Amino acid sequence: MTCPSCGGSQLAGHPAGWLAIQHRVTCPLYTAEDATRNSDHELMVWGRRDRPATDTERLLLTALGHVLPAELTTVVSGRGGGYRRTWPQLEPEPEPAA
């Protein structure tokens, strides 16, 4: 996956999660993502914070090929001195036990 604005590549397997992208410094989506990360950091208490997905997160998740529900929740969790964003609504359902 590449950023639809600057063409930066997704950093697959990055601890920050699905939206870890090597944006160009001038990319407007990088600026928006940076502002979101700063806001999450200021409001985060170790543990977990749920909030509505931002427009930028929705755009990037769509570029990854996800079909988004009308209301999408971003889960921000503290992890090893950093933060990780996840979208449980987009994660596949576990296979039923046989």
Domains identified in the chain, total number: 1
Say if residue 97's pLDDT is above 80: no
Q: Structural domain of residue 74, as residue ranges?
A: 28-90
- Whether 65 is in a domain gets the answer yes
For residue range 26-78, list pLDDT tens digits in order.
999 999 988 888 887 776 666 778 999 999 999 999 999 999 999 999 998 87
82, pLDDT greater than 90: no
Q: Sheet harboring 48-52: ordered strands across?
A: 48-52, 73-79, 82-86
From 21, 27, 18, 17, select the one nearest 9 (Cα to Cα).
21
Using the predicted structure, report yes or no on whether residue 96 has a pLDDT greater than 60: no
What pLDDT is stored for residue 63 in this prediction? 92
Residue 60: the pLDDT is 94
Inside any domain, residue 74 = yes
Q: What is the DSSP letter of 10?
A: B
Q: For residue 66, tell me if it sits in a domain.
A: yes
pLDDT at 41: 75
> Hey, CA dihedral for 10, 88, 71, 85, is it positive or negative?
negative
Domain presence at residue 18 = no
Q: Evaluate whether residue 51 is within a structural domain.
A: yes
Q: Has residue 84 been placed in a domain?
A: yes
Is residue 41, in this structure, part of any structural domain at all?
A: yes
Residues 83, 44 contacting (CB under 8 angstroms)? yes
Residue at 7 is within a domain: no
Q: Which amino acid would we find at residue 58?
A: R
Any residues with CB less than 8 A from the CB of 84 and at least 6 apart, and which? 15, 16, 17, 76, 77
